[in-house]
């Protein structure tokens, strides 16, 4: 069970992550509220967001081209198994 200090540290970390997430969204996503129905908000990518998506797509495509299926898939499977075991220990 977590003590008070550990709980406080976790909440501070969560707040920091939320602030980072908010800044990232502001850089990547812009919102526009519908003037006739304020419950409707239109989200679009900013120019920076579009460039980020394009870079990500190019990186994924490059990774897929360089993917050595047998070796990398075996390595990935082992890593997933290790992570699963570690998560089981935590829970």
pTM for the complete prediction?
Answer: 0.46
| Contact by Cβ (8 Å): 29, 49 | yes
Residue 53: closest CA among 19, 26, 29: 29
Contact 53, 74 (CB under 8 A): no
Question: What pLDDT, on the 0 to 100 scale, is given for residue 69?
Answer: 62
Considering all CA atoms of the chain, what is the largest pairwise distance in Å, rounded to the nearest integer? 56
Confidence of residue 68 (pLDDT cuts 50, 70, 90): low
pLDDT in tens, 19-66: 888 887 778 888 899 999 999 999 898 898 889 889 988 888 887 777
């Amino acid at each position: 069970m977590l003590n008070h200090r550990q709980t406080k540290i976790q909440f501070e970390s969560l707040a920091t992550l939320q602030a980072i997430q908010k800044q990232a969204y502001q850089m990547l996503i812009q919102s526009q509220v519908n003037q006739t129905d304020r419950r409707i908000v239109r989200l679009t990518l900013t120019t920076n967001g579009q460039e980020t998506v394009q870079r990500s797509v190019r990186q994924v495509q490059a990774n897929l081209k360089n993917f050595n299926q047998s070796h990398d898939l075996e390595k990935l499977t082992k890593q997933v198994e290790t992570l699963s075991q570690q998560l089981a220990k935590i829970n």
